[in-house]
A and B are shown apart, each in its own frame.
Chain A
Amino acid sequence: MTDVTAPPAGRRRQPPVKTPLEERPIRDVEAPLSSPSATTGLLEVFRRHYLLRLLVRREISARYQGSFLGLLWSYINPLSQFVIYYFVMGVIFGLHQGVENFAIHMFCGIVIVHFFNETFSAGTRSIVRNKSLVQKMAMPREMFPVASMLVSAYHLIPELVILVIVGALLGWTPTMAGMAAMVASLVICMVLGTGLALMFATANVFFRDVGNFVSIITNFVRFGVPMMYPYTMVQDRFGEFAELYLWNPISVAVLLFQEAFWVGTTKDPAATAASNLPADLWSYTAIGILMSLVVLAIGQLVFSRTENRIPERL
Chain B
Amino acid sequence: MTRPASIVVDHATKNFTLRYHRTFKQMAMAAIKRQDISDEFKAVDDVSFTIQQGESVGLMGLNGSGKSTLLKLINGIMKPESGTVQTRGRIAGLIATGAGFHQQLTGRENIYLNAAVLGMTESETRRKFDDIVEFADVGRHLDSPVGHYSSGMFSRLGFAVAIHVDSDIFLADEVLAVGDKPFKQKCMQKMAEIRDGGRTLVYVSHAAASVRKMCDRVIVLESGKVGFDGDVEEGIRYVRYEADEDQEELENEDEELGADI
A contact residues vs B (CB 8 Å cutoff): 8, 11-13, 15-16, 18-22, 24-27, 29, 31-38, 48, 50-51, 54-55, 58, 62, 65, 130, 132-139, 308, 311-312
In the assembled complex, the Cα of A179 lies from the Cα of B187 at a distance in Å of 57
CB <8 Å contact, B197 and A132:
no
**Residue B89 interfacial (CB < 8 Å):** yes
Query: Nearest-CB distance from A70 to chain B (Å)?
Result: 14
CB <8 Å contact, B196 and A24:
yes
CB <8 Å contact, A26 and B86:
no
Q: Which of chain B's residues has its CB closest to A308's CB?
A: B79
Residues of B close to A48: CB separation below 8 A: 116
| Chain A to chain B contacts (Cβ below 8 Å), 23 pairs | A8-B251, A13-B254, A22-B1, A25-B197, A27-B198, A29-B6, A29-B89, A31-B89, A34-B86, A35-B86, A35-B87, A38-B76, A62-B104, A132-B100, A133-B102, A133-B117, A137-B114, A138-B76, A138-B77, A138-B91, A139-B117, A311-B77, A312-B16
In the complex, chain B residues 86-116 whose Cβ is within 8 Å of any chain A Cβ = 86-91, 95-96, 98-105, 109, 112-114, 116
**Residue B13 interfacial (CB < 8 Å):** no
CB <8 Å contact, B78 and A308:
yes
Query: Nearest-CB distance from A148 to chain B (Å)?
Result: 15
Query: Nearest-CB distance from B118 to chain A (Å)?
Result: 7
CB <8 Å contact, A27 and B76:
no
In the assembled complex, the Cα of A27 lies from the Cα of B200 at a distance in Å of 9
Residues of A close to B113: CB separation below 8 A: 51, 54-55, 58, 133
Chain A proximity mask over B109-140: 1 for CB below 8 Å, otherwise 0: 10011101110011000000000000000000
Residues of B close to A15: CB separation below 8 A: 212-213
Q: Which of chain B's residues has its CB closest to A25's CB?
A: B198
In the assembled complex, the Cα of A279 lies from the Cα of B91 at a distance in Å of 57
Chain A proximity mask over B216-249: 1 for CB below 8 Å, otherwise 0: 1000000000000000000000000000000000
Q: Which of chain A's residues has its CB closest to B4's CB?
A: A29
Contact of B121 among A50, A133, A136, A138 (CB under 8 A): A50
Residues of A close to B16: CB separation below 8 A: 312
Given A16-B189, A33-B8, is A50 in contact with B116 using a C-beta cutoff of 8 Å?
yes
CB <8 Å contact, A32 and B88:
yes
Q: Which of chain B's residues has its CB closest to A52's CB?
A: B116
CB <8 Å contact, B102 and A132:
yes
Q: Considering the complex of A and B, which 4 residue pairs feature the smallest CB-CB distances, nearest first?
A: A36-B76, A136-B100, A138-B76, A37-B76
In the assembled complex, the Cα of A29 lies from the Cα of B16 at a distance in Å of 33
In the assembled complex, the Cα of A37 lies from the Cα of B78 at a distance in Å of 7
In the assembled complex, the Cα of A20 lies from the Cα of B91 at a distance in Å of 23
Can you add 20 more A-B contacts, CB < 8 Å, to A25-B54, A36-B85, A62-B102? A8-B251, A15-B213, A21-B216, A24-B195, A24-B198, A25-B198, A26-B198, A37-B77, A37-B78, A51-B113, A55-B113, A58-B102, A132-B103, A133-B113, A133-B117, A136-B99, A137-B99, A137-B114, A137-B117, A139-B117
Residues of A close to B116: CB separation below 8 A: 48, 50-51, 54
In the assembled complex, the Cα of A54 lies from the Cα of B110 at a distance in Å of 10
Residues of B close to A130: CB separation below 8 A: 102
Chain A proximity mask over B177-199: 1 for CB below 8 Å, otherwise 0: 00000000000010010011111
In the assembled complex, the Cα of A244 lies from the Cα of B251 at a distance in Å of 81
B contact residues vs A (CB 8 Å cutoff): 1, 3-6, 8, 16-17, 53-56, 72, 74-79, 84-91, 95-96, 98-105, 109, 112-114, 116-118, 121-122, 168, 189, 192, 195-199, 212-214, 216, 251-254
Given A8-B254, A55-B113, is A19 in contact with B196 using a C-beta cutoff of 8 Å?
yes
CB <8 Å contact, B199 and A36:
no
CB <8 Å contact, B105 and A137:
no
Residues of A close to B88: CB separation below 8 A: 29, 31-34
Given A27-B168, A136-B95, is A33 in contact with B5 using a C-beta cutoff of 8 Å?
yes
CB <8 Å contact, A36 and B54:
no
In the assembled complex, the Cα of A50 lies from the Cα of B116 at a distance in Å of 7
CB <8 Å contact, A35 and B103:
no
Given A19-B196, A132-B100, A311-B77, is A27 in contact with B53 using a C-beta cutoff of 8 Å?
yes
Residues of B close to A33: CB separation below 8 A: 5, 8, 86-88
In the assembled complex, the Cα of A138 lies from the Cα of B197 at a distance in Å of 24
Residues of A close to B199: CB separation below 8 A: 27
Residues of B close to A311: CB separation below 8 A: 72, 77-78
In the assembled complex, the Cα of A235 lies from the Cα of B78 at a distance in Å of 52
In the assembled complex, the Cα of A41 lies from the Cα of B206 at a distance in Å of 37
In the assembled complex, the Cα of A143 lies from the Cα of B187 at a distance in Å of 32
In the assembled complex, the Cα of A133 lies from the Cα of B95 at a distance in Å of 12
CB <8 Å contact, B197 and A21:
no
CB <8 Å contact, B75 and A138:
yes
Given A27-B53, A132-B103, is A36 in contact with B197 using a C-beta cutoff of 8 Å?
no
Q: Which of chain B's residues has its CB closest to A18's CB?
A: B213
Residues of A close to B216: CB separation below 8 A: 20-21
